[in-house]
Amino acid sequence: MSSSEFTCPLSAASSSLSSCACTCWDRDRIKSKSSSNHGAQTASCLDLAELYADTLNSSGVAPSKKIFDNIQQLLKLLPSSLNALNEVSSSNECSASAEGQTDSKDLRKKFISTVIKWSQKVATKSREKKRGIAELHYILAKKFEAEGDFNAARVHYLLSEQPEEFGQFLIDSVSTDHNDPDELSPDVLVAHAVLQLLCLHRVKTASSLLQYFASRHPSIRAAQPPYENPLLNFLHHLIITIPKRNTAAYLTLVEKYIGSLEAHPSFKSYVDKIGQIFFGVPPPAGQGMGLLGNLFKGLLSDEKKEEEVFSDSDMDEPVRNVEMDEEGYATAEDEMNPAVPRQRQAQRAGRQVDAPARPQMQQHDDDLD
């Protein structure tokens, strides 16, 4: 189904939120009769927005600028919580419909979850099949940022492929209250983001984020490394070590900066995961889903195993002396199966290559670009 076929139902949902008058839906159901029942109609329009998202998801319509614009517009119009809903109406009907719900509940949760699932379904890149299309996450990140929801915005920025926007968001989010015991220092704040991006295989994105943050943050203002801050230097050296695939260099680097990694209890887990992904370092005994898996739990889809969250086999073997794009970083898993890059290159050229039998112990991602 083409995106143009959604013009009618989407216009209905959008107009019902802005003026409570639809041209393609049941007019008698949501038509505005007085300002006193506007809140109840807004609740009905939330149902219409969810129906629109369900329609996208069930039909598998291809993504387009128009659809993303429509989703962005719906997010602007939908009430984020019962507090926002009650601000536009004090009618008994609206209050009754909200009975049993807490004021902090995000009423858009189902709508957002469904459009993410739709974007996973229609994505063409393997990483976006797992986590959703980057453009959609950018829209969600900007929306949550505008609402002051730092945690939600940050999660979506991680998946947005917008390192400079992400960097500016982190800079703007740093509190001016330096007496706040829960406030992270700038180096720890950006280290969280960089390490998480590396765990998501976004090497170039992580590098761009670090460079932007270090050059723009008022307490750092360093256009290029080396940095005065040892944690930032560790991040820089880690990023440039990944394409070299030198396990000894990775282990030496971690040992040298082990003191800096103690700046936050989560850093060791992230660095261990990066060692597993890019350098073939075995995981510590008893390692579970980990911090990043928990971060995305419940956001991207119902339940995913750790290898599904972190696996991303859409990266070719690195080529020396050639500038690599974001997909150019091999993983340890790729090196264990040399046929994987050959299959990708053939697939991109429109040829079919028979995959060799894979050992049972290995887990590979078949969603190749």
Looking up residue 333, the CATH number of its domain turns out to be 1.25.40.10
Q: Structurally, how many domains does the chain consist of?
A: 2
Measured distance CA(306)–CA(290) in Å, rounded: 8
Same domain, 115 and 136: no
Same domain, 196 and 344: yes
Distances in Å between the Cα of 336 and the Cα atoms of 159, 299, 332, 361 are 27, 31, 7, 12
Burial of 68 (0-12, 13-18, 19+ CB in 10 A): middle
- Report which of 315, 310, 337, 338 is spatially closest to residue 325, judged by C-alpha positions: 315
User: Which range marks the domain in which residue 241 is found?
Assistant: 124-360
- Report which of 61, 132, 296 is spatially closest to residue 199, judged by C-alpha positions: 296
pTM: 0.73
Six token digits for residue 173: 């989010």
Task: Report the alpha-carbon angle 206-203-311, nearest 5.
Answer: 120
Residue 299 DSSP code: T
The pLDDT profile of the chain, 369 residues, written as one tens digit per residue, is 555 555 545 555 445 444 433 333 333 343 344 444 555 556 677 888 999 999 999 999 999 999 999 999 999 888 777 555 555 444 434 333 334 444 557 889 999 999 999 999 999 999 999 999 999 999 999 999 999 999 999 999 999 999 999 999 999 988 554 455 567 899 999 999 999 999 999 999 999 999 999 999 999 999 899 999 999 999 999 999 999 999 999 999 999 999 999 999 999 999 999 999 999 999 987 665 555 556 666 565 444 444 443 444 333 333 333 344 566 566 665 555 555 555 554 544 554 444 444 333 333 333 333
Measured distance CA(39)–CA(152) in Å, rounded: 26
The answer to whether 277 and 127 are in contact (CB under 8 A) is no
Same domain, 281 and 303: yes
